[in-house]
Chain A
Amino acid sequence: MMHQTIKRDGVETVGDPYLCLEGVNKKYGLVEVISNLNLEVRKGELIALLGPSGCGKTTTLRMIAGLIAPTAGRIAVGGRDVTHIAPHGRDMGLVFQSYALFPHMTVAKNVAFGLEMRDLSRAEIAQKVAKALAMVQLEHLAGRKPRELSGGQQQRVALARALVIEPSILLLDEPLSNLDAKLRDEMRAQIRDIQQQLGITTVFVTHDQVEALSMCDRIVVMKGGLIEQVGTPHEIYERPATPFVASFVGRTNRVKGKCMVDGGIQIGSSIIRAASVETPGDVTVMVRPHRILIDWDATSTGQGETANRIAASLSRITFVGDVIQFHFDVDGCEFIVEESTKKAQATHRPGEKAMLSWNVGDTLVFGADQ
């Protein structure tokens, strides 16, 4: 609380950054786990910190919550510098992967805890607890102890407990990863609904790209303590900034190629084109498997200027349920093409020749150094 400076320059307008991380850095000894992180989250936005384990996403969340102090940098909420404020003075709702419910208290007592800390009257607490439990549809379990609840129910109690204090920011640390797949889908929708209803600024840590893509307004893709890309789910998926983002979010084919002076890219003996132009030299080419069309009648001619066409031979077929994956060999490079199983025919044999085509716009090209 020592260095607390409050500067409020009027009412924030929609679109202004509400949560700001400026030059945030975290070192453990000599190991830098977060390097110079800059991030702005708008009021009411649901933003995901997405990345593999060890990328620093949870560390970032814990620094926002105040559970660990950054080595350098500044964290501000609504213009108020909270960098040196203890967690109990930050007014943030936190939901843990392990839920972290108080085992010795009933559901209602768990939810009431934050309100009791705020010295509210008994009647007011009871009313707010009832409202919060109704929001997560758990009114009927108010008297139970956490151990008597299922994982999904505990998760909803944790959410109610974090939201009942009407925090300035909601922080979710992999809240869905301990739930089974079906429940996860339900909770995903429920969390998004509640977040929209309350218009609460939310930071959501996850390693699951589907969660990030389906729930969030924007995604921050992190790797090795650095931000790889910040963007809307659509931008992240369609215009990944780095090969890492392209392969971490969604599936992709990744092959080596050579960019030539005229902008054409040579893969084996074929030439393809991409929407963006790289400097001549070695490049990495990526194409999403379901964006490629297979023309089994390899003799037919091109379908237009926008399409890349490449001759390939089928090497393997993998049945994955919803989709069928055709593995093609193109002069030593492997291309995987996915088709929905309804459309796919199982009559194809390895060794069969085909033409692969896809839109120039679907070709992602990255310099070889990336």
Chain B
Amino acid sequence: MEETPTSWFMRVTVTVLFLFLLAPVLLVFPISFSGDQVLAFPPSSWSLRWYDSLLENKVMMSAFLTSLGLATVVTILSLIIAIPASYAIVRLKVTGSEFLFNLFTAPLLLPTIVLGLAILIIFASIGFLATFTGLVIGHLVITLPYALRVLSVSLGNLNLACEEAASSLGAKPLVIFRRVTLPMMAPGIVAATALCFLVSFDEVVITLFLTGPRMTTLPVELFHHVESQADPLVASVSVLLILMTLGVVMIVDRTMGLTKAFVK
């Protein structure tokens, strides 16, 4: 590209913006290698002691495994529910599908804290608090809107003629769905998977209401930890979270390309 004053101006602006957005995140990395007792920047000495202490911290590690398992189960369930649901809404246009779509996506508009409180009241009465089932159901409420929205857009953008062509070639509706519609939805499915996983893995507000000493997730445990003590352990946990997120994004990029999965 030709070097023009505008392109220089753009570069500087973009660099400054990125620094502004990423600086807090980048700061976490050096702090996690701190040798100090308290959270401070810059650290006065360097060590891996907070990674050691993280590995030895039974609560943190079990919370991490809970988060990982939770995000996986929630993602799979979200897809199992949202793929047929989006098909029914976009393709079959069943009666009341417009209403169902709005109902499913309503949690996106509600304040999460209200949602959390409501779920708390219901779950307390049926004994779902601090259980894996309870967490899965709670998370589904907020991952389903994302999955449904992304998959509906992806399905709506497909060339209907492909399905019609398959039909004229002798394929029955289920075969068409399995061999034509589903593979063509692949970019949307990858995007929905990544979104659901990240939303669930990252969720704090609703989860705060649903966890307890029996079972907790990594972000919630991190939150509690900061409340009680300010040591660089939180930085090493944050690095773990960032790397997980980055891992998911890179998998998406490798399989589909980011733009294809999220933009189209």
Q: A92, B175: Cβ atoms under 8 Å?
A: no
- CB of B59 closer than 8 Å to a CB of A: no
Contact B168 A93 (CB under 8 A): yes
Instruction: Judge whether B164 and A117 touch: CB under 8 Å.
Output: no
CB of A96 within 8 A of CB of B169, answer no
Q: Is the CB of A114 within 8 A of B186?
A: no
CA distance A162 to B171 in the complex (A): 13
Out of A98, A103, A161, A171, which one reaches B169, CB within 8 Å?
A161
Contact indicator A102/B162 (Cβ below 8 Å): yes
Q: Bound state CA distance, A131 and B44, in angstroms?
A: 76
Is B228 part of the contact surface with A, judged by Cβ < 8 Å? no
B21 at the A interface (CB under 8 A):
no
CB–CB B164/A67 < 8 A: yes
- Smallest CB separation, A107 vs chain B (Å): 14
Inter-chain contact A113/B166, CB cutoff 8 Å: yes
Q: Contacts A88-B170, A104-B184 known; A117 to B161 CB distance under 8 Å? A: no
B contact face: mostly helix, strand, loop, or mixed? helix
Q: B165 an interface residue at 8 Å Cβ cutoff? A: yes
Residue B180 interfacial (CB < 8 Å): yes
A residues 145-172 in Cβ contact with B at 8 Å: 158, 161-162, 165, 171
Point out the residues of chain B lying under 8 angstroms from A104, CB to CB. 183-184, 186
Residue of A nearest to B182 (CB): A104
Contact with B along A93-119 (1 / 0, CB 8 A): 110101011111000000001100110
B interface residue count range (under 10 / 10 to 19 / 20 to 34 / 35 or more): 10 to 19
Contact A98 B161 (CB under 8 A): yes
Given A96-B161, A117-B175, A102 and B180 contact (CB-CB distance below 8 Å): yes
Residues of A near B169 (CB, < 8 A) are: 88, 113-114, 117, 161-162, 165
Size of interface on A: residues with Cβ below 8 Å to B: 28
Measured in the bound complex, the distance between the Cα atoms of B180 and A185 in whole Å is: 32
Set of chain A residues within 8 Å of B58, measured between Cβ atoms? none
In the complex, the answer to whether A67 meets B167 with C-beta atoms within 8 Å is yes
Q: In the bound complex, what is the Cα–Cα distance between A100 and B165 (angstroms)?
A: 7
CA A66 to CA B168, docked complex, whole Å:
8
Residue in chain B with minimal CB distance to A113:
B169
Whether A65 lies near B170 (C-beta < 8 A) is: no
Q: Does B159 contact A (CB under 8 A)?
A: yes
The interface residues of chain B lying within 8 Å CB-to-CB of A86 are: 167
B172 within 8 A of A: yes
Q: Encode contact with A along B215-253: 1 for CB under 8 Å, 0 otherwise.
A: 000000000000000000000000000000000000000
A residues within 8 A CB of B170? 88-89, 91, 114, 117-118, 165
- Chain B's closest residue to A96 (CB) is B161
Which residues of chain B are near A113, meaning CB under 8 Å? 166, 169, 171, 179
Task: State whether A87 and B184 are in contact (beta carbons under 8 Å apart), knowing that A96-B161, A102-B162 are contacts in the complex.
Answer: no
Is the pair A90, B180 in contact by a Cβ cutoff of 8 Å? no
Given A98-B159, A104-B183, CB of A65 within 8 Å of CB of B168: yes
Q: Given A98-B159, A117-B175 in contact, is the A92-B168 Cβ separation under 8 Å?
A: yes
* Assembled-state Cα–Cα distance A67/B169 (Å): 12
Whether the Cβ atoms of A88 and B184 lie closer than 8 Å is no
Q: How far is the CB of A120 from chain B (nearest CB, A)?
A: 11
5 residue pairs, one from A and one from B, having the closest CB atoms: A114-B169, A100-B161, A117-B170, A94-B168, A87-B167
7 intermolecular pairs with C-beta atoms under 8 Å apart? A88-B167, A100-B159, A101-B165, A113-B169, A114-B169, A117-B171, A118-B170
A residues within 8 Å of B by Cβ? Answer: 65-67, 86-94, 96, 98, 100-104, 113-114, 117-118, 158, 161-162, 165, 171
